[in-house]
Amino acid sequence: MSVSSTSTDPTPAESATTEPAASRVPTVVVGVGGGIAAYKACQLVRLFSELGFDVRVIPTESALHFIGAATFEALSGNPVHTGVFDDVPEVPHVRLGREADLVVVAPATADLLARAANGRADDLLTATLLTARCPVLFAPAMHTEMWEHPATVANVEVLRQRGNAVLEPASGRLTGADSGPGRLPEPAEIAEFARLLLEVPGALRRDLDGMRITVTAGGTREPLDPVRFLGNRSSGKQGYMLARVAAQRGADVTLISGYTADLHPPAAVDVVSVRTAAEMNDVVKAHSHGVDAIIMAAAVADFRPTTVSSAKIKKGSEDEPDRILLTRNDDILAGLVTDRRAGTIDAKTVIVGFAAETGDDHGGVLDHARDKLARKGCDLLVVNAVGEGKAFEMDDNAGWLLGSDGSERVLELGSKARMSAGVLDALADLLAKRPGL
């Protein structure tokens, strides 16, 4: 990746690997518990295979009531066993755990979480969990009552304290007519977290427990008439990923979303949809009180058409404009900083901005970013170099993180999940250092 920058700009490690153990294909064990969500494990195994991972599936005996071993064998390209007495000469209960770079248990049922928390080894999956020394990711799925039961809450706590990542489930329709927290996060989302743990093993630690965070994402659309608008190319991927990772690190997250690519709502996040910059401003203001941090990852339109026609503008009509007049939108980020100075929002609220920059005749990406940080007055500025093939709509990102204390660090090229983890590391540090805490 080339970056428009001056020769003085440090460059995000352009050759940084996005895969762990670059010379070797990662081995990922997928443990499948006996719940109806086991059917989604098929999609997960397929995604892992498509990512090029060596995938070993270990279903429990009850998972096989939902999905046959042949399905997992076909999708993973590897044999599938459930018991410790299958294939004994190969000692699979020790070998599989030892060889794994990551174990993902999806769905993790209440029973499976209980057995794992108690260190049981009564089938191949739980035995593998005891021998694995790599990161372990549990993706729970169960009825809300079971998820909220003190026994499950305690088991999850034990597993987290031992360094395992236990995802917050999604809310929504469960088996039958009921709905609530307990749904398995989307396979694509679990795959993102898995990739993140392979890149950064501690990336889902619970260092944001109890924090309230507002995140904006996506682009706004400024209408010209009922069918036309001024918009931008933001996919929303970076903001959604920040919201996802923050929620899994324990934060209570509200995501204020403009228009995005076709993205799944993040598990365990409240999503509020907005259309225009003015609407986003109102909703951000309403979610800026009593929060610990506000992250402005949205691509907010700087201008809107000064007049909006209530009927479609027809070509050849008397109303056909030969130019569009624009009015400047309020700068939401700068407004938050002003509100904080004025005391209308809590002085301890950390404000994070984003800057999408290209270099030009007046300076490089970082020169513009440093100016922007000073102008906007936020605490952290995440800087992306944009242009053809960079940042917008891409799955990987690189950049810099500038602090109002003068700190500057490179965010290496990697997945947007990895970049999110880097931003949240810096945010967690700042939150921990806030005065009065």
User: Is position 353 an interface residue for ligand CTP (rule: CB under 6 A)?
Assistant: yes
CA distance 180 to 163: 27
Among 298, 373, 380, 417, the residue binding ligand CTP under the rule CB under 6 A is 298
Catalytic, 78? Answer: no
User: Is position 331 an interface residue for ligand CTP (rule: CB under 6 A)?
Assistant: yes
**Among 423, 23, 361, residue whose Cα is nearest residue 200:** 423
Nearer to ligand CTP, 233 or 312 (CB): 233
Residue 302 DSSP class: S
Among 302, 339, 346, 367, the residue binding ligand CTP under the rule CB under 6 A is 302
What 3-state class would DSSP assign to 332? Answer: helix
Among 66, 138, 147, 354, the residue binding ligand CTP under the rule CB under 6 A is 354
User: Is position 356 an interface residue for ligand CTP (rule: CB under 6 A)?
Assistant: yes
Nearer to ligand CTP, 51 or 278 (CB): 278
User: Is position 392 an interface residue for ligand CTP (rule: CB under 6 A)?
Assistant: no
Among 214, 276, 329, 349, the residue binding ligand CTP under the rule CB under 6 A is 329
DSSP string of 96-161? Answer: HHHH-SEEEEEEE-HHHHHHHHTT--SSHHHHHHHH--S-EEEEE---HHHHHSHHHHHHHHHHHH
Choose the binding region for ligand CTP from 78-86, 238-246, 354-362, 413-421 (rule: CB under 6 A).
354-362
Q: How far is the CB of 264 from ligand CTP (least distance, A)?
A: 22
Nearer to ligand CTP, 346 or 367 (CB): 367
CA distance 382 to 218: 15
**Among 173, 189, 93, 83, residue whose Cα is nearest residue 139:** 189
Nearer to ligand CTP, 40 or 376 (CB): 376
User: Is position 402 an interface residue for ligand CTP (rule: CB under 6 A)?
Assistant: no
Among 80, 200, 283, 333, the residue binding ligand CTP under the rule CB under 6 A is 333
Nearer to ligand CTP, 285 or 348 (CB): 285
Contact yes or no for 166/156 (Cβ under 8 A): yes
What character string, x for contact with ligand CTP (CB under 6 A) and - otherwise, covers 55-94? ----------------------------------------
Contact yes or no for 261/238 (Cβ under 8 A): no
Residue 8 DSSP class: T
Using CB under 6 A as the binding criterion, the count of chain residues that bind ligand CTP stands at 13
Tokens coding 316: 């050849």
Tokens coding 231: 């918009």
User: Is position 26 an interface residue for ligand CTP (rule: CB under 6 A)?
Assistant: no
Instruction: Give Cα separations from 66 to 32, 61, 107, 136 (angstroms).
Output: 10, 10, 12, 23
Contact yes or no for 348/434 (Cβ under 8 A): yes
Catalytic residue among 232, 281, 329, 384: 232
Residues that bind ligand CTP (CB under 6 A): 277, 296, 298, 300, 302, 329, 331-333, 353-356
| Enzyme catalytic residues | 232
